[in-house]
């Protein structure tokens, strides 16, 4: 049996099924632990692109690759390309809410401090235009949140912090190459980023999730997303 994660039902009005599922337990009916046969099995020592291929939702998969390819084609430095490739990574198979912070935390042990910082602060910069840098407030956000939406104070504070930081443009360029309109007919081969990843993402020998890093548990959560505990 698969018990939905508590956070997925909060505020939705869906019933809490935990008690009912506990009552259904029997020797033949137990909770999911380990590999779910409905999901592709991950390699023993998974690498970054394994998560892209075997765990990420189609929208996130295409979005990250298209964003990184746009930065690459524009001649940007590899730190910008890798930041674009990773900036929404938590949306793929973990959490959407606060995704800039979750994504930065996920990759922080494996990328430069600058790249992790840029990914974190793109969470706030997305809501504030900087036309001199080539970024305007996305039309899609008016559709997503309504034309009167105002970011909360902590996001506004993070924006002010970022604007004063020496790495501001690294984070701002993530938003510039962020693809708010997803191009359905544009397929980007993830293999073309193998060398960029090799130079800018420290793949652990043991595999992501098994290297004892402070975020290994987050990678394991994406490997086994349906574990009861």
CATH of the domain at 114: 1.10.3210
* 22 within domain boundaries: no
pLDDT along the chain (229 residues), means of 10: 89 90 94 96 98 96 95 96 97 94 98 98 97 93 94 98 98 89 81 97 98 98 96
CA 131 – CA 10 distance, rounded (Å) = 38
* 36 within domain boundaries: no
Question: What is the pLDDT, as a whole number, of residue 182?
Answer: 67
**What is the rounded end-to-end Cα distance, in angstroms, of the chain?**
12
pTM for the full predicted model: 0.95
Question: What is the pLDDT, as a whole number, of residue 192?
Answer: 96
Domain count, the chain: 1
- Classified as helix, coil or strand, 59 is helix
* 73 within domain boundaries: yes
* 4 within domain boundaries: no
Question: What is the pLDDT, as a whole number, of residue 8?
Answer: 85
* 112 within domain boundaries: yes
* 13 within domain boundaries: no
Q: How many CB atoms lie within 10 A of CB 61?
A: 17
Q: How many CB atoms lie within 10 A of CB 203?
A: 16
CA 92 – CA 90 distance, rounded (Å) = 5
* 137 within domain boundaries: yes
77-93: b (≥16 Cβ within 10 Å) or e: ebbbbbbbbbbbbbbbb
Q: Which residues form the domain of 174?
A: 48-223
Question: What is the pLDDT, as a whole number, of residue 9?
Answer: 84
* 100 within domain boundaries: yes
């Amino acid at each position: 049996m698969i018990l939905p994660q508590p956070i997925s039902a909060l505020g939705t009005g869906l019933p809490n099924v935990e008690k009912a599922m506990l009552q259904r337990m029997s020797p033949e009916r137990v909770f999911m632990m380990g590999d779910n046969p409905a999901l592709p099995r991950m390699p023993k020592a998974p690498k970054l692109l394994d998560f892209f291929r075997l765990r990420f939702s189609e929208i996130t998969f295409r979005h990250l690759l298209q964003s990184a390819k746009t930065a690459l084609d524009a001649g940007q430095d590899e730190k910008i390309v890798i930041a674009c490739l990773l900036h929404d990574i938590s949306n793929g198979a973990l959490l959407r809410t606060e995704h800039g912070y979750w994504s930065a935390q996920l990759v922080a042990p494996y990328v430069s401090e600058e790249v992790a910082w840029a990914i974190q602060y793109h969470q706030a910069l997305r809501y504030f235009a900087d036309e001199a840098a080539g970024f305007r407030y996305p039309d899609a956000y008016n559709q997503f949140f309504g034309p009167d939406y105002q970011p909360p104070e902590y996001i506004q504070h993070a924006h002010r912090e970022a604007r004063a930081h020496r790495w501001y443009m690294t984070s701002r360029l993530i938003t510039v190459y962020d693809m708010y309109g997803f191009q359905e007919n544009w397929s980007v081969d993830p293999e073309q980023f193998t060398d960029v990843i090799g130079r800018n993402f420290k793949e652990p020998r043991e595999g992501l999730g098994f290297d004892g890093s402070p975020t290994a548990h987050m990678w394991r959560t994406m490997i086994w997303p349906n574990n009861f505990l």
